[in-house]
Amino acid sequence: MTWEEIVESARTLEAVRRCGGAITAEMIRTGRLSLGPQMQKVIFNNPATVVVWDDDTKTVVKCGDRDVYDPEKGLALCFMKKMLGNTGRYYETVKKALAEYEKTQKGDDDGEETDTEV
């Protein structure tokens, strides 16, 4: 799956969530769902990634001092942060999910997929 396909899938899922899961004939006819704010500009400037949206807002994420800058991860986190209200609370969601995952991995080296409730 290409990055463009991943982004389009995320937009489609967000559109379905916004309309309460109901996809209308108009959405199917036009081939486009109501996707919310669209990216106008993306700025990759190590250690930060900035997305300027068409609703006149911007989202900024920065990697920590111990992290290695990854523009793809920065862009993905900008989407997550925007979906979660464009505040710092998105990071709490990430930390909680990772903590749950790490608890399940202690002593579990079988390589099987793990579900994590957030």
Q: pLDDT above 70 covers what percent of the chain?
A: 59
Please choose, from the candidates 29, 9, 11, 7, the residue with its C-alpha nearest in 3D space to the C-alpha of residue 19: 11
Give the model confidence (pLDDT) of 31-83 as tens digits.
555 556 788 999 999 999 999 998 889 999 999 899 999 999 999 999 888 88
Q: Is residue 96 pLDDT above 60, yes or no?
A: yes
Q: Tell me what pLDDT residue 69 has.
A: 96
Higher pLDDT, 32 or 104: 104
Q: Tell me what pLDDT residue 40 has.
A: 92
**Average of per-residue pLDDT across 12-39:** 62
Torsion of CA 50, 52, 56, 59, to 10 degrees: -30
Q: Tell me what pLDDT residue 48 has.
A: 96
